[in-house]
A and B are shown apart, each in its own frame.
Chain A
Amino acid sequence: MTLVLNEEQLMLQESAAGFLASKATVAHLRGLCDSGDELGFDPAVWREMVDMGWAGIAVPEAYGGLGYGYTGLGVVLEQAGRHLSASPLEASVLIGATAINCLGTESQKADWLAAIAAGEKQVTLALQETGAFDPLAVASTAVQDGDDFVLTAEKRMVLDAQSADAFVVIARSSGAAGDTDGLSAFLVPADAAGLSRARCDMVDSRQCGVVTLDGVRVSADALMGSAGDAWAALERTLDIAAIGLAAEMLGLSLEAFERTMAYIRERKQFGQVIGSFQGLQHRAAHLFAELELARSIVLKALQAVDANDENLSRLASAAKAKLCEVARLASNEGIQMHGGVGMTDEYDIGLFLKRARVLEHLMGDYYYHLDRFARIGGY
């Protein structure tokens, strides 16, 4: 395998760049935010994305998708990161569909994947329970009662919770927090009795919510796979999700950097453009170097998903840790190099900082993934 995009992926990149630059830009995000939009994305724009096939890029052809793989989806996510494009691409396509594909039964896949790919349904993952991302710490309960399960949980950071048609809920059917055994996954419709959702207003103006399951009764056919055995497939889902988000963070970081370079080439102080000062030039060049490393590790991780690489977890944590680090640096330098105007709401650079921090947290931050990278490395 060579570490370059193939022709199909390059075409996808070009069409995504063109579409998002006109239809789902930072200005559109501002519009959604200012109008207090409940959905947090524009359904008409989402429909167009679906019509271009984006909702099914990584869904296997057998289930109604395009089967282009995750490298293809990553290319689109990178462009979405550049424009801070708001859509259910992350929640439903990257994470929801992947969860169903990895965890689901044959009939769940048949029922849901084609519907996601066609944009008819949205599915999102309900996993995180505390302030920190820590999937093994899940303590929500799934108590078997005859053929049914009764779910009790309070889930945070549920992306696009408001617009979801169903949730992949992770709960414990046995074991204790920290155990890999005992985790189970359930596909729970949003209208299930006892399920409620509340919108949370997050710093990046994207839709996110808390989902509460107060003794939600589901039948055995909601169970994904077998009870207590969800960990391996969940881990793969989370690895893929982390890699996809890393691709989005790459786009965000590159865009923040390019906007910042454009600014320091124009802004004058002391009678010259500030980009001529070595104090800024060396920091810019260092950041450029880090961005080049970021490009490589993201592409390597995306290709590892499509190649079923046995070292996927190591590469997933490497990619997410590296991109958390680089997005932090790019967004921080973005503000600093913009100077005073970087602190104003009027300038867009602050929006990149805000989105960067949410993406860093989602699916595990720098510290989570660097720790995991080291653990996998045997130290």
Chain B
Amino acid sequence: MTEIDTFRQETREWLEANCPESMRQPVSGFEDIYTGGRRPEIDIPEQPLWCERMAERGWTVPHWPKEYGGGGLSGEEVKVLREEMDRIGARRPLDSFGISMLGPALLKFGSEEQKLEHLPPICRGEIRWCQGYSEPSAGSDLASLATRADDQGDHYLINGQKVWTSYADKADWIFCLVRTDNTGSKHEGISFVLFDMDQPGVTAKPIRLISGSSPFCETFFDDARADKRNLVGEEGQGWTIAKYLLTHEREMISAFGTAGGKSLGKTAVELMGADAEGRLRNGILRQDIAQYQLDTLAFSATMERVGDEVKAGQGLGPASSIFKYYGTELNKRRNELNLAVGGEAALGWSGERYNDGNVVRSFLRSKGNSIEGGTSEVQLNIVAKRVLGLPDA
């Protein structure tokens, strides 16, 4: 038996013995996944237990180094672990912005002390993080942000306002872009700091969205305090870190584009009927569905190809620059088609009959996919300038 087979065997046995039955039920959406924190939202009692058991082995973040609370697994072992979890339908024990965004940035730019202080609590699901990026006057033009950090010797005093801060009302700590210098160009003078949200100078106010949910907040800083030891990188290096981190955020969002599930075409046939040859009765809707499915297939193949190119040592090719743009536009198309196929049933806002408005709320929420994390227009600018080398106006 090869090493990887042994690993698979042991993993299988361990999961079988340790994954609670309730954690083998499918999640209905990513809001179902445990996010941890000081005030965790617990939908199912076994969520913290499952997280704790996995965290003990470093398997909440299996690819991170062991010394920071990860599993230290190789790419191949991570794949085996995922396969074995999928085999029994085991849920991911923990997901958070700490894992998907801050962690990669700290691993690359953080000091050893910062990694040792902040990464293990992320792995154990003890601290929930939020991201302080956008401001009322700094959306697509993020670098024009104005939240100030004044040097007070061993700490900064933070003053200003962030907006679109995901789950700021539920988060324990924030990774935040602040202005430490106003003298140079707008990209200079931005710094990346971490601080505790549980302090008098921080206020988070949820924003109600068109979908009825409130995943985002307005966040106000009034002499909030950030210790200097929690400045990541150098003063003024914030923009570089922010851009690196955004690539991770965009990867996360673009994955929506591959959302599979039941074939839309087959659902449409069930609901709307087919002709004698099995074709969906409305040929015009059918064409839109087919084009959507075709593009989804080609997009998934592109994600696969780019991943394989990286593994083959060819580096991350220019194709990756389209992921955020194309993935989010696909997800919006999917949601438009869900409405068309669902008809009346897709328009219900609340009540059991309408599944609490799942379909239409997801549709409404999807409109934000091509805005958050860099609008489609900004993504196209990036491709035009960085990949195609087209000049500035």
Q: How far is the CA of A378 from the CA of B268 in the complex (A)?
A: 10
Pair B269/A276 contact, Cβ less than 8 Å: no
Instruction: Indicate whether A288 reaches chain B with its CB closer than 8 angstroms.
Output: yes
Interfacial chain A residues near B326, Cβ < 8 Å: 289, 293
Do residues A293 and B302 form an inter-chain contact, with CB atoms below 8 A?
Answer: yes
Residues of A within 8 A of B286 (CB): 374, 379
CB atoms of B298 and A322 under 8 A apart:
yes
B294 within 8 A of A: yes
CB of B279 within 8 A of CB of A300, answer: no
Within residues 228 to 246 of chain A, which ones have a CB less than 8 A from any CB in chain B? none
CA–CA, A2 and B387, complex, Å: 25
Beta-carbon contacts of B253-276 to A below 8 Å, as 1s and 0s? 000000000010110110000100
Whether A296 lies near B384 (C-beta < 8 A) is: no
Note all chain A residues with C-beta closer than 8 A to B278.
375, 378-379
CB <8 Å contact, B265 and A379: yes
Binary interface encoding of chain B residues 240-255 relative to chain A, with 1 for a CB under 8 A from any of its CBs, else 0: 0000000000000000
The stretch from B66-74, B147-155, B181-189, B309-317 touching chain A is: B309-317
Question: Does the CB pair B293–A294 fall under 8 Å?
Answer: no
| B10 contacts the other chain (CB 8 A) | no
Complex contacts, B384 vs chain A, CB 8 Å:
278, 281-282, 284-285
Q: Is B199 in contact with chain A by the CB < 8 A criterion? A: no
Docked Cα-Cα span, A45 to B370, in Å, equals: 50
Q: Is there contact, CB below 8 Å, between B390 and A265?
A: yes
Q: Is the CB of A379 within 8 A of B308?
A: no
| A143 at the B interface (CB under 8 A) | no
User: Of B294, B311, B387, which is within 8 A of A373 by CB?
Assistant: B294
Inter-chain CA distance A161–B212, complex, in Å, is 65
Interface size class of chain A, counting residues whose CB lies under 8 Å from the partner chain = 35 or more
Q: Which of A281, A292, A297 has the most CB of B within 10 A?
A: A292
Q: Which of A3, A288, A292 contacts B308 (CB 8 A)?
A: A3
Smallest CB separation, A378 vs chain B (Å): 5
Contact with B along A188-219 (1 / 0, CB 8 A): 00000000000000000000000000000000
Shortest A138–chain B CB gap in Å is 19
Check B301 against A377 for contact (C-beta < 8 Å): no
Q: Roughly how many angstroms separate A309 CA and B291 CA in the complex, as a whole number?
A: 22
* A361 in the interface (beta carbon within 8 A): no
Q: Is B319 an interface residue (CB 8 A)?
A: yes
Interface residues of B in 318-366 (CB under 8 A from A): 318-319, 322, 325-326
How far, in Å, is A330 (CB) from chain B's closest CB?
A: 14
B298 and A294 contacting across the interface, CB-CB below 8 Å? yes
Residue in contact with A3 in the complex, picked from B287, B301, B325, B380, CB distance below 8 Å: B301
Using A261-B390, A293-B301, A294-B298 as known contacts, say yes or no to A288 and B322 having CB atoms under 8 A apart: yes
Closest to A2 in B: B308
User: Does B381 sit at the interface, judged by CB under 8 A?
Assistant: yes
Pick the contact of A297: B266, B297, B392 (CB < 8 A): B297
What CA separation (Å) do A57 and B305 show in the bound complex?
Answer: 24
A350 at interface, CB cutoff 8 A = no
List of A residues within 8 angstroms of B291 by Cβ: 370
Query: Given the known A-B contacts A296-B301, A375-B277, are A322 and B393 also in contact in the complex, defined by CB atoms under 8 Å?
Result: no
Q: Once the chains are docked, how many angstroms separate the CA of A254 from the CA of B325?
A: 20
Interface size on B, residues (CB 8 A): 49
B196 at the interface (CB under 8 A from A): no
Shortest CB distance A266–B (Å): 11
Known: A272-B393, A370-B291, A374-B286. A2 touches B312 (CB 8 A): yes
Complex Cα distance, B392 from A319, in Å, reads 35
Contact between chains at A377 and B308 (CB < 8 Å): no
Interface centre among A3, A289, A318, A370 (most CB of B within 10 A): A289
Which parts of B285-304 form the interface with A (CB within 8 Å)? 286-287, 289-291, 293-295, 297-299, 301-302, 304
Partner of B390, one of A275, A286, A296, A321: A275
With a cutoff of 8 Å between Cβ atoms, the chain A residues found around residue B325 in the complex are 285, 289
Q: Is the CB of A4 within 8 A of B309?
A: yes
Q: How far is the CA of A321 from the CA of B298 in the complex (A)?
A: 11
Across the interface, which residues of B come within 8 angstroms of A370, CB to CB? 287, 290-291, 294
Asked if B380 contacts A281 (CB within 8 A), the reply is: yes
CB contacts (< 8 Å) of A378 on chain B: these are: 263, 265-266, 269, 278
B294: chain A residues within 8 A (beta carbon): 318, 321-322, 370, 373
Nearest Cβ on chain A to B74's Cβ, whole angstroms:
17
Q: From residue 270 to 305 of chain A, which have CB atoms closer than 8 A to chain B?
A: 272-273, 275-278, 280-282, 284-286, 288-289, 292-297, 299-300
Contacts of B301 in A (CB 8 A): 3, 293, 296-297, 299-300
Question: Which residues from chain B contact A329 at a C-beta distance below 8 Å?
Answer: none
| Complex CA distance for A280 and B383, rounded to whole angstroms | 12
Q: Mark B378-390, 1 if CB is under 8 A from A, else 0.
A: 0111011101111
Contact B304 A284 (CB under 8 A): no
Which of B263, B279, B297, B388 makes the CB contact (< 8 A) with A288? Answer: B388
A276 to B388 Cα, complex, angstroms: 11
CA distance A327 to B274 in the complex (A): 31
Q: Shortest CB–CB separation between residue A283 and chain B, in angstroms?
A: 9
Query: How far apart are the CA atoms of A47 and B27 in the complex, in Å?
Result: 61
Chain B residue at smallest Cβ distance from A275:
B390
Chain B residues contacting A280 (CB-CB under 8 Å) are 390
A–B Cβ pairs within 8 angstroms, 24 of them: A2-B308, A4-B308, A261-B388, A264-B390, A273-B391, A276-B390, A288-B387, A292-B319, A293-B326, A295-B319, A299-B301, A318-B297, A318-B298, A370-B291, A371-B290, A373-B290, A374-B265, A374-B289, A375-B278, A377-B263, A378-B265, A379-B266, A379-B278, A379-B280
Interface residues of B (CB under 8 A from A): 263, 265-266, 268-269, 274, 277-280, 286-287, 289-291, 293-295, 297-299, 301-302, 304-305, 308-309, 311-312, 314, 318-319, 322, 325-326, 377, 379-381, 383-385, 387-393
If A281-B381, A282-B377, A374-B279 are given as contacts, then 4 extra A-B residue pairs at C-beta distance below 8 Å, sorted by A number, are A265-B391, A280-B390, A285-B383, A377-B266
Interface positions of A (Cβ within 8 A of B): 2-4, 261, 264-265, 272-273, 275-278, 280-282, 284-286, 288-289, 292-297, 299-300, 318, 321-322, 370-371, 373-375, 377-379
